[in-house]
Amino acid sequence: MRTMIIAGNWKMYKDLTETRDLILALKAATPSLPDRVQSVVCPPFTSLALAGELLKGSAFQLGAQNMSQHDEGAYTGEVSAKMIKATGASFVILGHSERRQYHGETNELVNAKAKKALAAGLHPIICVGETLDEREKGVMVQVITTQTKGVLAGIPAHDMANCVVAYEPVWAIGTGRTATPQQAQEVHQLIRKLIAQQYDWALAERITIQYGGSVKPDNAAEILTQNDVDGALVGGACLKADSFSAILKAAKV
């Protein structure tokens, strides 16, 4: 049985006061989670330390939204794996499509970041996903294959066991347009097969593969019941405690 992980990507929302309010509301709404369901909140860097303090002893874990591929040095504006870990975080989202689109992140860079995250003891949530143009051109399988192989290249099996993969079709992120449960299942199955080819089926069956793209309280249950969908990466709907809590209630294993 795989662990179901529901992660909330706060993106560039919530200052410190808003962070406190949302976390207190989340803790009140969700004092505990079922066995094998985990939830991760991923606020902006500026809120990580505060969130780490507030989440101690709660049902939630903490994650960052990005990370440098370097250990330390003259890299203005960057944040290292060690710094993230020190806030109490245990997860980090890597290769989100907004990082790829607006900051030029490539599969190679995401792969380098994933290796650094793993070396620091963080669980990377590694994102892959095709654009609408790629889906309409019929090259989705090639795109997902190239991305998955690229971001996982050279990661040894014992580290792979600590990775989460998120399938996030770019056309479904922040658009209100969700992949159908069948579309999600098809790609999740493909990703699991690619992991099995690189490692083996026993390991592939243990890897949590999240779906992300306009997951809301009213569509979460249907997507999460698909065989190979093991959680969700939630953007817009994680910014309010009631909608994120409703998605968590839909997560059953």
The distance in angstroms from the start CA to the end CA of the chain is: 8
Q: How far is the CB of 44 from ligand PEP (least distance, A)?
A: 13
Q: Closer CB to ligand PEP, residue 126 or residue 199?
A: 126
Which residues in this chain contact ligand PEP in the complex, by CB under 6 A?
Answer: 9, 11, 96, 168, 173-174, 212-215, 233-237
Q: Closer CB to ligand PEP, residue 183 or residue 214?
A: 214
Q: Closer CB to ligand PEP, residue 52 or residue 63?
A: 63
Q: Which of 120, 138, 128 is nearest to 64 (CA)?
A: 120
Q: Closer CB to ligand PEP, residue 154 or residue 177?
A: 177
Q: How far is the CB of 199 from ligand PEP (least distance, A)?
A: 25
Please report the sign of the dihedral spanned by the C-alpha atoms of residue 33, residue 53, residue 91, residue 166. positive
Catalytic one of 72, 96, 105, 186: 96
Q: Which of 191, 204, 107 is nearest to 153 (CA)?
A: 107
> Does the annotation mark 168 as catalytic?
yes
Strand 164-167 relative to strand 60-64, pairing:
unpaired
Q: Which residue's CB atom is positioned nearest to ligand PEP?
A: 235
Residue linked to tokens 């970041």? 113
Q: How far is the CB of 42 from ligand PEP (least distance, A)?
A: 9
In order, the DSSP letters of 73-126 are SS-TT---HHHHHHTT--EEEES-HHHHHHH---HHHHHHHHHHHHHTT-EEEE
> Does the annotation mark 130 as catalytic?
no
Q: How far is the CB of 71 from ligand PEP (least distance, A)?
A: 27
Q: Closer CB to ligand PEP, residue 94 or residue 207?
A: 94
Integer Cα distance of 224 and 247 in angstroms: 10
Q: Is residue 181 within 8 Å of 228, Cβ to Cβ?
A: no
Q: Is residue 51 within 8 Å of 17, Cβ to Cβ?
A: no
Q: How far is the CB of 10 from ligand PEP (least distance, A)?
A: 9
- Residue 34 has a CB neighbour count (10 Å cut-off) of 13
Catalytic one of 98, 130, 168, 188: 168
What amino acid positions are annotated as catalytic residues?
96, 168
